[in-house]
Amino acid sequence: MKVQFLLNGETVHIEGQPATRTLLDWLREDRGLKGTKEGCNEGDCGACTVMVTDDRGTRTVNACILFLPQIHGKAIRTVEGICGPDGQPHPVQTHMVDKHASQCGFCTPGFVVSMAVAHKNGRKDFDDQMAGNLCRCTGYAPIIRAAKAAAHDPVPGWMNDDPSGIRISDTSDDRVFLPGSVDEFADWYVKNPDATIVAGATDVGLWVTKRLETPEKLAFVGGIGDLRETHVSTEAINIGAAVTVTEFGQLITEHHPSFGELIRRYGSTQVRNSATLGGNIANGSPIGDSPPALIALNAKLHLRQGEARRVIALEDFYLEYGKQDRLPGEFVEGVEIPRQPDRLKCYKLTKRFDQDISAVCGCFVISIQNGVVADARIAFGGMAGTPQRASEVETALLGQNWNRATVDVACTMFSKDFSPLSDMRASAQYRLQTAQNMLLRYFLEDQGMATQVLGVSA
């Protein structure tokens, strides 16, 4: 395996490394760049944050779950590369000092990188941009003050990396495949159906760092241009499987703002920048954030096996826990969302508001005509072994007057649709109760009442 990329402005060539070697480990152990820290080693704390630049622009990612083949042809900057070539500090570094924004200092390098990337991209939604960087000393206020102060300073010239001049050679071998097109991948995957598909590695990365697994054969599909395309027509919104969650969130917000807000709370900025919509669907998690909303929107899944393609309803993809309707050598090629009036509301219940896994995620599309429920699609995550529709609840609503009495009756049907488990995130009784409350919230919101937790005051 050969990998070429820019590191802090310098062209680097790597050979002979395992495909599952993380950028974090290589930086610290082989390159001696110790500023990038290992904290959680699962993409939660942001201590390992690095800056990545490619044809998608500049973004932050977690180096702890980023494999070396994924940086092929890209430009990387660590905290050591945020300052200038002659040691001149970046504006965010200057203001971090001026605002006394570093305490124990362990998290500081990750914050500096996130702040520098936000600064380069002109982002001023600092709470969102740094939601993936945790400060255990609770020093957030001076950090935000430093970010705000730096926003008025120009972007230093050395931050403008251009990896397009890197000579990109084939880095594939018997165990690692970096396809150049979706057709190449489809042909290879039919012949290697036992291979592990890696898009953003926000899931597979944890297999390596937490389960200590070593997949023997990998295909890295995150760079396939065909799978990164989106198309919006009068009939549908089509999203390629390798579109990142960040990119999808920007697109879907224009059409379904509640879905966009759900995506904003998906993981951290770094995770959203790496994770893909196709991966979030294909891994089959019963608590994945996107499937309930997509099912409520009646999304279709585009699957491909070699030259053969088929389209199925997304809700039919999930057969049981850990099992999906996917043939050997078949993969998710894209998602199709029918264009429709925006009636979608998504409610995500977590112990921590940002960057947390759902205890319950409920998504509702209920259409009303002349005061009567004409259509209802309701889907939940966290209530069963797969993302699942609330069919009995939907039936109780259909054809009924859209009022509180109808909603109260429909709420009694949740126990017929779901038999949730009790676990560390919530009890079964709590899940059922909150699912009922989400339907009530949808109704009250539709009546014009303020229900947004962050917007309601006494």
Q: Could you tell me the CATH number of the domain that includes residue 87?
A: 1.10.150.120
Same domain, 18 and 146: no
Q: Using DSSP, state whether 134 is helix, strand or coil.
A: coil
Q: Which long-range contacts (CB under 8 A, 24 or more apart) does 399-403 make?
A: 399/372, 399/373, 400/372, 400/373, 401/371, 401/372, 401/373, 402/366, 402/368, 402/371, 402/372, 402/373, 402/443, 402/446
Query: By C-alpha distance, which of 75, 128, 138 is closest to 102?
Result: 138
> To which H or E segment does residue 318 belong?
strand 318-320
Q: What tokens were used for 79?
A: 């905290």
Token pair, residue 17, equals 């490394």
- Assess whether 116 and 212 both reside in one domain: no
Q: Please report where in the chains the tokens 């070697």 appear, as a residue.
A: 21
Q: Are residues 425 and 287 in the same domain?
A: yes
Answer whether 234's CB lies under 8 Å from 97's CB: no
| Residue 19 DSSP class | T
74 and 91 belong to one structural domain: no
Residues 317, 205 within the same domain: no
Say which CATH number the domain at 270 has.
Answer: 3.30.390.50
Do 74 and 103 sit in the same domain of this protein?
Answer: no
Q: How is residue 384 written in tokens? A: 């069963």
Residues 209, 328: one domain? no
**Any domain includes 167:** no
Q: Residue written as tokens 């971090």?
A: 96
- 110 and 213 share a domain? no
Structure tokens at 129: 């941009």
Q: Are residues 290 and 328 in the same domain?
A: yes
Residue 337 lies in a domain: yes
pLDDT of residue 457: 64
At residue 424, the pLDDT reads 86
DSSP string across 399-441? TSBSSHHHHHHHHTTHHHH--PPP-SS--HHHHHHHHHHHHHH
Contact 282, 331 (CB under 8 A): yes
Question: Residue 204 sits in which domain range?
Answer: 2-80+172-220
Tokens matching residue 232: 């919006």
Asked whether residue 285 is domain-assigned, the answer is yes
Contact 312, 325 (CB under 8 A): yes
- Please report, in tens digits, the pLDDT of each residue of the chain (458 residues total): 789 999 999 999 999 899 999 999 999 999 999 999 999 999 999 999 999 999 999 999 999 999 999 999 999 999 999 999 999 999 999 999 999 999 999 999 999 999 999 999 999 999 999 999 999 898 899 999 999 999 999 999 999 999 988 877 666 777 899 999 999 999 999 999 999 999 999 999 999 999 999 998 999 999 999 999 999 999 999 999 999 999 999 999 999 999 999 999 998 999 999 999 999 999 988 888 999 999 999 999 999 999 999 999 999 999 999 999 999 999 999 999 999 999 999 999 998 888 788 999 999 999 999 999 999 999 999 999 999 999 999 999 999 999 999 999 999 999 999 999 998 889 999 999 999 999 999 999 999 988 887 766 65
**Under a CB-based contact definition with an 8 Å cutoff, are residues 348 and 258 in contact?**
no
Q: Tell me what pLDDT residue 166 has.
A: 82
Residue 454 lies in a domain: no
- Estimate the crossing angle of helix 108-120 against helix 91-98, to 10 degrees: 130
Measured in degrees and rounded to the nearest 5, phi and psi for residue 31 equal -105, -15
User: Is 457 inside a domain boundary?
Assistant: no
Residue bearing tokens 């362990």:
106
pTM recorded for the entire structure: 0.93
The contacts of residue 421 (CB under 8 Å, 6+ apart) are 428
DSSP 3-state of 324: strand
Q: Count CA within 13 A, CB hemisphere, residue 449.
A: 9
Lookup: tokens for 287:
């608590």
The CA-CA-CA angle for residues 151, 154, 160, to 5°, reads 110
336: β partners? 238, 300
Own/partner pairs for 303-310, CB < 8 Å, 24+ apart?
303/327, 303/330, 303/331, 303/332, 303/333, 304/182, 304/186, 304/330, 304/331, 304/333, 305/186, 305/190, 305/329, 305/330, 305/331, 306/186, 306/187, 306/190, 307/186, 309/333
Domain for residue 165, yes or no? Answer: no
- Indicate which CATH number applies to the domain containing 17: 3.10.20.30
Please check whether residues 233 and 338 belong to one and the same domain: yes
Domains of the chain: total: 3
In a domain, 413, yes or no: yes
**Residues 43 and 189 occupy one common structural domain:** yes
- Residue 343 in domain: yes
Q: How far apart are CA 106 and CA 82, in angstroms?
A: 17
Answer for the pair 263, 289: CB distance below 8 angstroms, yes or no: yes
Q: Which of 322, 304, 302 is nearest to 312 (CA)?
A: 302
Residue at which a domain ends, from 202, 220, 238: 220
Is 266 found in the same domain as 351? yes
